[in-house]
């Protein structure tokens, strides 16, 4: 089975971090390639065609965001960005540039693995996303019927407005991935409305109210403060 293992490229300049991530991923049956700077990373990306890239933003020779842009120009390979806690702007930029997810340093090993699994599964149409079957999305007790534009919790239909439905459906289609405010606004209201985060936040508050979720117990949609929202996939959070 070893030929079937997913290939992961880790681009990170800290030797100790490279070392432990490699140990962790290798023992969990991934094939790992290591690059310690952007130039090396770019070459390895082209020669090994990895299934997923873990990209540190603070590289010595080039801005990680620059590298991300170059990768996105030629491929849709999932990229998870590794970043420091206070770089919200970098996170938003990375997501808008097409990164699939970000992990904040220091990160737990369980968290990193969960993110890798989600990103690979979402990117691979053949692996099949367990949450999608016949025009329906299912996660926990939530079901979205795309054909009839209906969202229900435990079989109980929610009375959502058109806009609210569009938001929930969009998040579900990208389940497991953080969508930035700008991305959602662009998709739901069109390009002209970029910047009206408030409108989105109010709609989101109404969605939460209709779902009847309390703070700290929202298992469906996760808040990424000042960045965006993410639909949770069952068993991943």
| Residue 81 beta carbon to other proteins: minimum distance, rounded to whole angstroms | 17
| Residue 104 beta carbon to other proteins: minimum distance, rounded to whole angstroms | 10
Binding residues for other proteins (CB under 8 A)? 85-86, 88, 106, 197-198, 201-202, 204-205, 208, 214-218, 222-223, 225-226
| Residue 1 beta carbon to other proteins: minimum distance, rounded to whole angstroms | 29
Rounded distance between C-alpha atoms, residue 18 and residue 96, angstroms:
26
Query: What number of residues does the chain have?
Result: 237
- Judged by beta carbon, residue 160 or residue 204, the one nearer other proteins is 204
- Judged by beta carbon, residue 91 or residue 177, the one nearer other proteins is 91
- Judged by beta carbon, residue 4 or residue 198, the one nearer other proteins is 198
| Residue 237 beta carbon to other proteins: minimum distance, rounded to whole angstroms | 9
- Judged by beta carbon, residue 106 or residue 155, the one nearer other proteins is 106
């Amino acid at each position: 089975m070893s030929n079937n293992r997913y290939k992961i490229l880790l681009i990170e300049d800290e030797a100790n971090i490279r070392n432990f991530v490699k140990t962790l991923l290798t023992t969990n049956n991934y094939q790992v390639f290591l690059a310690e700077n952007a130039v090396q990373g770019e070459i390895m990306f082209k020669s090994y065609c990895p299934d997923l890239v873990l990209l540190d933003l603070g590289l010595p020779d080039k801005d990680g965001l620059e590298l991300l842009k170059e990768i996105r120009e030629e491929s849709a390979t999932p990229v998870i960005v590794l970043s420091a806690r206070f770089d919200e702007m970098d996170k938003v930029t990375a997501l808008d540039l097409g990164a699939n997810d970000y992990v904040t340093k220091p990160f737990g090993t369980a968290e990193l693995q969960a993110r890798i699994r989600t990103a690979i599964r979402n990117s691979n149409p053949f692996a099949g996303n367990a949450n999608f079957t016949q025009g329906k999305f299912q996660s926990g007790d939530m079901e979205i019927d795309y054909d009839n534009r209906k969202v229900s919790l435990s079989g109980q239909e929610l009375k959502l407005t058109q806009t609210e439905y569009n938001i929930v459906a969009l998040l579900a289609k990208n389940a497991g991935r953080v969508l930035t405010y700008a991305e959602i606004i662009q998709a739901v209201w069109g390009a002209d409305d970029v910047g009206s985060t408030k409108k989105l936040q109010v709609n989101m508050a109404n969605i939460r109210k209709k779902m009847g979720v309390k703070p700290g117990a929202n298992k469906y949609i996760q808040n990424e403060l000042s960045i965006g929202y993410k639909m949770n996939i069952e068993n991943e959070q």
